[in-house]
Structure 1
Amino acid sequence: MTVAASYQIHHLAPRIYQIVLTPPIKGFDNFIAAWLVRGPDAVYLVDVGPAVTVTQLTDALSELGVAHLDYICLTHIHIDHAGAIGHLALQFAGTPVICHPKGVPHIVDPERLWQGTVKTLGDTARAYERMLPVAPASIATESDLAAAPFQLLDTPGHSPHHYAIAAAECLFAGEAGGVCLPLSSGETYLRPATPPRFFLETSLASIDRIMAAAPRTICYGHFGLQNNGMQMLARHRDQILFWEKTLSTALDEGISGSQDGYERWVDLMLRKDPNLKGFEELSLEVQERERGFLLNSVKGFAGYLTYRRENLDA
């Protein structure tokens, strides 16, 4: 296994620790994290990062004196969030692994997930490294879930196998609330995480479901903690609707869903969306990373808008 850069531990709230993981990919510093909650009723992880950073994660847990976990939770099975789950399930044998039911078959037998990820992400997937399978006996049972000190919110949109996790201390949004990066100016850069296949109504319903939990504090899969949870979720909901309106107009004006069209859509959103105005504050390597993800996000909208028009015309 490739040895990546060092981890960082940030104690961001009384019971919440962010463990920052650094895969060996340019521009991916301060982008991927696992969250450790040391609650009064349970100690648990939310997301585990890619396989390549599993040593960083286990070293961080050792530094924090964590020898036992009551739960290991996955917001979703994308390998930047869940790639190390097979390794963790072996190290913390007997700890229930919580995963969306639609995702469970893919962590028990991750080959299809791996092949699909390589097809989509190429060298980035290979840098994340392969997921080890999770034994079926490690998957949380109904009684495990009933005893858990948090609520699982079914939040498809970013992916069909996505949970947001509502705890007393915080809401762990995964990518259902977008990607939120702190900027040196004190502002935040907020980006939709809408890869294909994306459906607007599904994504909005997921955001509404999270907002119904009325979180004051929100922890993002990418990247930090924000104490104005409801405000950030409302901002992201408005952003999704703004992208739909703006890109629908672009489609009307003949900017097609070709590769050149997608690049023009990215440039359009960087000009038009005030939530992206901090893009120029990012380092050039991070800008390159973000441009790749923005390209994936506009592709999701392109597929949705095309699907909607074809079905309206049918």
Structure 2
Amino acid sequence: MAATVHQFGPHLFLIVLTPPIRGFQDFIGAWLVTGPEAVYLVDVGPASTADQLIDAITALGVDRLDYICLTHIHLDHAGAVGHLARQFPGTPVVCHPQGAPHIVDPERLWQGTVKTLGETGRAYGPMLPVDPSWIATESQLASAPFRLLDTPGHSPHHFALLTTGCLFAGEAAGVCLPLSSGDIYLRPATPPRFFLETSLSSIDRLMAAGSETLCYGHFGMRGDGLRMLVRHREQILFWEKTLATAIGGGGADPTASVNRWVDLLLAQDPLLRGFSQLAPAVQIRERSFLCNSVKGFVGYLANLE
């Protein structure tokens, strides 16, 4: 399958990658910046779509990369990093220090992904290891045309990248899907282990960056980035209040009630109302991720007791 490429301005491209999983169309993308200061990728998608990504880069006439950047090491964002590093030998790989050991020796990451995601994880495919000498050094990063923002809301090994033109947020700003109606569907990406204060401080750091152009890991670009970050911060607080009230009055094991809490949020969170406009296969995918995000909140609230 060939990747779809969307162009945003003269030097920015979104390469849409489709793994062999039903309902995962228009969900995973790699951002390609072609200059003028440097040529680099932000995220590379899963290993199973490495050929799609390499073919798209080649079709765009790109024969070198100055950086391969990972917002975080989850396999839907970083799984193809070993493939890309072999395709473009010598290119520095930008990765959070906490994530770097896991891309050098990805076996534990692979086993954990399969255990957590099952068939979805297997469909992403195993990561090829990255040679330690390929990890970007401080001196290489000193001349980079972007600034790394430590944003551990979604995972402890998460960077956002700030450039002159836009902010690449990874999943620190949640997941934002455009709808055919012109509205959006926005949800938190808060898997276990989730910490509310950490997530909020990461969003605050993104807001302080001041960029109006926000590039999501999932999915696409928004020109009202500050407004979207404010809405997402309010959404996180709404989930915390709603789930704390529901779980506190439920009387049952909250971990056994995740689907009930998802139904509650789908009914009450206005930023989730676009769920009904999603295709059936996409709804199945999104419900799975919603359950995982709710589990993050449930674990956080349980630890407060």
User: Matched residue pairs, number?
Assistant: 305
1:191: which partner in 2?
187
Q: Would you identify which runs of 4 or more consecutive aligned residues in structure 1 move more than 3 Å?
A: 255-260
The answer to whether the Cα contact below 8 Å between 1:15 and 1:169 also exists between their aligned partners in 2 is no
**Helix, strand or coil for the counterpart of 1:205?**
helix
- Alpha-carbon distance in 2 for matches of 1:292, 1:255: 24
Aligned to 2:157: 161
Matched, 1:246 2:242: yes
Matches within 5 A, 1:280-295: 280-295=276-291
1:215 Cα shift? 1.0
Match of 1:25 in 2: 21
Aligned residue in 1 for 2:49? 53
1:122-174: CA deviations, max 9, x gaps?
00010011000000010001101101010000000110000000011110000
- Tell me the TM-score normalized by structure 1: 0.96
Please, which of 108, 111, 115 is the counterpart of residue 107 of structure 2? Answer: 111
Q: 1:123 pairs with 119, 122, 129, which one?
A: 119
Deviation, structure 1 residue 308: 1.3
**8 Å contact from structure 1 (residues 9, 60) kept in 2:** yes
Alpha-carbon distance, 1:299 to partner:
0.1
Structure 2 SS opposite 1:254? coil
Q: Secondary structure at the match of 2:25?
A: coil
Q: Is the 8 A contact 1:219 1:226 kept in 2?
A: yes
Q: What one-letter code is carried by the residue in structure 1 that aligns with 2:100?
A: V
How far residue 260 of structure 1 moved from its aligned partner, in angstroms, is 3.8
**CA root-mean-square deviation:** 0.9
Q: Which residue of 1 is the match for residue 226 of structure 2?
A: 230
Distance 1:308 1:253, change over 3 A: same
Q: Is the contact between residue 104 and residue 131 of structure 2 (CA under 8 Å) also seen in structure 1?
A: yes
1 CA distance for matches of 2:98 and 2:274?
35
Provide closer, same or farther for how the CA distance between residues 129 and 200 of structure 1 changes in structure 2, counting only shifts above 3 A.
same
The yes-or-no answer on 1:200 pairing with 2:193 is no
CA displacement at 1:39 relative to structure 2: 2.1
Amino acid at match of 1:223: F
295, 298, 302: which one aligns with 1:299: 295
Secondary structure in 2 aligned to 1:265?
A: helix
For 1:257 and 1:76, the matched residues in 2 are separated by 32
Which of 249-258 and 171-180 deviates more?
249-258
User: 2-side partners of 1:214 and 1:257: how far apart?
Assistant: 42
Q: Which amino acid aligns with 1:209?
A: R
Paired with 1:148 and 1:307, the residues of 2 have a C-alpha distance of 40
Which stretches in structure 2 are left out of the alignment for 5+ residues? none
What's the counterpart of residue 11 of structure 2?
Answer: 15
Taking structure 2 as the reference length, what is the TM-score of the superposition? 0.99
Alpha-carbon contact 2:72-2:95 (below 8 Å) kept: yes
C-alpha distance in 2 between matches for 1:208 and 1:168: 19
Structure-to-structure mapping, 1:260-271, within 5 angstroms: 260-271=256-267
Q: What is the rounded CA distance, in whole Å, between the counterparts of 2:251 and 2:214 in structure 1?
A: 36
CA deviation profile, 1:168-190 (whole Å, cap 9, x unmatched): 11100000000000000000100
In 2: Cα distance, 1:15 partner to 1:53 partner:
23
1:175-221 Cα offsets, whole Å, 9 max, x none, are 00000000000001000000000000000000001111011100000
Whole-angstrom distance in 1 between the partners of 2:251 and 2:183 = 31
8 A Cα contact 1:255 1:261, kept in partner: no
| Alignment partners' CA distance in 1, 2:252 and 2:203 | 28
Residue 257 of structure 1 contacts residue 302 of structure 1 at CA under 8 Å; is this kept in 2?
no
Letter in 2 for 1:196: P
